[in-house]
Copies of this chain bind each other. A is one copy, B any other.
């Protein structure tokens, strides 16, 4: 399987693990030295424990992810557009995001960045 396909499959596995609310399955995709910057421009989260806690929290909120287009793979990065839907305090909200995953040589995610801002959130 070529590299672009492998990286697309990691993104699919990520979305599925989220759908299954399986934070361990998400962590299996990450390198030990990974960072998560969500949104981009804020202080990155570093290390497995902190990243696990980040995903567990999102899953506890019952956040749902859906891909909004194909995964784009270039160089060591996969980029993909998706929507997060979540209910907070009884209000349904959606957030439109683009994530980039940078991969290490073992095919693990070494850097995740999420691109979203104030214009990308709305009540639904």
Contact = CB atoms under 8 A, between A and B. Distances in A.
A90 interface: no
A89 B8 CA distance: 30
B8 A72 contact: no
Contacts of A118: 2, 4
Chain copies in complex: 2
A74 B78 CA distance: 18
Contacts of A98: 72, 79-81, 98
Contacts of A2: 118
Given A79-B79, A98-B79, A98-B81, A117 B72 contact: yes
A5 interface: yes
A114 B77 CA distance: 11
A77 B119 contact: no
A96 B74 contact: no
A116 B74 contact: yes
14 contacts: A4-B119, A40-B74, A40-B77, A41-B77, A68-B68, A68-B69, A70-B120, A72-B97, A73-B115, A73-B117, A73-B119, A74-B117, A79-B79, A98-B98
